[in-house]
Amino acid sequence: MTNTRLISGQRQANPLFYTREEGFREHRSDDFILALQELSRILKPAGTLFLTVPFGVYRHFGSFQQFDQKLLFRAIDAFGSRTNAVQTFYQYSDTGWDVANLEDCSNAEYVDRVAKAWSDG
């Protein structure tokens, strides 16, 4: 598989990360591991990856997943031996986004109507 392809005369970097092409879409719940391994491979030495995921009660919405603690740790492990993970959690409240901890966020659930909008594209 190539990491770069040509579309309409423009170079598009690594289609594993975001594409509407069915061949590259996430079909299995652990396909994200392949993407993280590729990110680890192409990140320059001492580079930083800022990764944000919906977190709380695990749920697979078809086009994306809400990570729980187990899946989050799998994502960190998939990034490889050079991982120095700093985890910061945020929780939404009436006043906006607030810094929280893993335990505070573990029971969070995605709002179904928002999930449906993301899934429908």
1 found inside a domain: no
Task: Give, in order, the Cα–Cα distances in Å from 44 to each of 2, 47, 48, 98.
Answer: 19, 5, 8, 32
What is the mean pLDDT for each group of 10 consecutive residues in the chain (121 residues)? 38 50 65 86 87 90 86 88 83 90 91 69 55
Residue with tokens 């492990």: 77
3-state secondary structure of 70: helix
Overall domain count for the chain: 1
- Full-model pTM: 0.69
Give me the pLDDT at residue 71, please.
93
**Which domain range does residue 46 map to?**
11-120
